[in-house]
Amino acid sequence: MTIETLSENKSFGGIQGVYKHTSSETGTDMTFAVYVPDCKAGTKMPVLWYLSGLTCTHANVMEKGEYRRFCAEHGIIFVAPDTSPRGEDVPDDDAYDFGKGAGFYLDATQEPWATNYRMRSYIESELPDVIAANFPVDMDRQGIMGHSMGGHGALTIALRNPGRFRSVSAFAPIASPMNCPWGDKGLPRYLGDDKQLWREYDAVALIEDGARLPDLLVDQGRADNFLEEQLKTPLLDQACSKAGIPATIRLQDGYDHSYFFISTFMGDHIAWAAERLNT
C-alpha cells in the first residue's frame, strides 16, 4: 500500500495531490490524483471516484474539471485514476481509441493485452485498498462518476457492484459499447469473440440482464459530435425506463464533449453525490 507523492498543492483549504504506486494488477506504476478537503484530524470523509475518458490521464480533470471548490464545500474526497496502464513495456496501438489511454475499465483476456490491461480489477479492488490505507476516507460512503469512456466505466462498475455506491452519475457516457464503433473495435480485441463476456462491460446490457441502480444522473451535450454514432444515450434512457431505474438524463443545448461542458455541470454532479453521501 506504499505510495509516492509526486506533488501536493493547497487549494480551497484542502490538498490536491498526485501520487504513484506499483500496481500488482497492471504490473506497472500507476499515477492517480486525490483532492482532500480541509478537515479535523481523525475525520473520515466520503469518497467520489472520477473515471476519465479516451486519451486522458488523471491530469485532465485535475486541471480542467473545476471540482475542488465543490468538494471543499461538501466535504468530499475526489479520486481521479489513470485510464490505462503506462510504460515502455506495455502493449499499445497507434490509434487513439485502443491501447494506452483506452483501457475501457475492463480486464482483458486476449494477448498481448491480458497481462497489463486489468483496469476493472484495478479500479474495483486494488486502488480502493490503496486509497483506504493512505487517505481519511469513509469507504461506506462511496460515489462514482465519469466522462465518456469513464462514464461507461462508472456505470458498469456501479451496476456490477450493487449497494457499493450511493451515488452514480456520468457526463456523456458511452452507454452501449456493444452498439458503437468504439466498442466494435475494442471489445473483441480485448475480450475475444464471445459476446456474452462483452455484456459485463455494457451498461445497457447489464440493465437488460437484471442489474440495477438506485438512481442515476447523466448530462449529455446536444452539440456533442459523438452523440449519435458512439454514445447511444437514447439506449440508456430506454433501458432505465423499462427497468424502472429513476434516471435524470439531461440533454444540454449547445454543449459539446469537452471539459468546457464537464466543468459547467460538475457542481451539479457533486451536489447530487453530496445529497447521497452525506446522509
Q: Is the pLDDT of residue 1 over 90?
A: no
Quickly state the pLDDT bin for 279 (edges 50, 70, 90).
Answer: confident
Assigned C-alpha cell, 198:
462483452
Q: Which of 84, 148, 167, 176 is catalytic?
A: 148
Determine the structural domain holding residue 264 and report its residue range: 4-278
> How do residues 49-70 score in pLDDT, each as one tens digit?
999 999 999 999 999 999 999 9
Residue 147 among the catalytic residues: no
Angstrom distance (rounded) from CA 60 to CA 37: 20
What residue has cell string 443545448? Answer: 253
Q: How many CA atoms lie within 13 A of 178 on its CB side?
A: 20
CATH number of the CATH domain containing 56:
3.40.50.1820
Q: Say yes or no to pLDDT of 116 above 90.
A: yes
CA distance 157 to 57: 19
Exposed/middle/buried for 187, CB within 10 Å: 0-12, 13-18, 19+? buried
Reported as a pLDDT band with limits 50, 70 and 90, residue 256 is very high
Among 129, 164, 137, 145, residue whose Cα is nearest residue 76: 137
Catalytic residue flag (residue 148): yes
**Which of the residues 74, 147, 257, 269 is marked catalytic?**
257
**Distance of alpha carbon 63 from alpha carbon 77, whole angstroms:** 16
Residue-level pLDDT at 182: 98
pLDDT attached to residue 202: 98
pLDDT at position 139 is 97
Give me the pLDDT at residue 187, please: 98
- Report, as an integer, the average pLDDT of 167-190: 98
Is residue 257 annotated as part of the catalytic site, yes or no?
yes
Structural Rg of the chain based on CA atoms: 17
How buried is 47 (Cβ within 10 angstroms: 0-12 exposed, 13-18 middle, 19+ buried)?
Answer: buried
Burial 201-220 (b: 16+ CB within 10 A, else e): bbbbbbbeeebebeebbbbb
Question: What is 5-69 written as a DSSP string?
Answer: EEEEEEETTEEEEEEEEE-TTTSSEEEEEEEE----TT--EEEEEEE--TT--HHHHHHHS--HH
CA distance 203 to 225: 21
Per-residue pLDDT, averaged over 250-270, amounts to 98
pTM: 0.97
Of 107, 202, 219, 224, the active-site residue reads 224
| Beta pairing, strands 137-147 & 165-171 | parallel
- By percentage, how much of the chain surpasses pLDDT 90? 99
pLDDT-based confidence at residue 95 (cuts at 50, 70, 90) = very high
Question: Could you give the number of structural domains in the chain?
Answer: 1
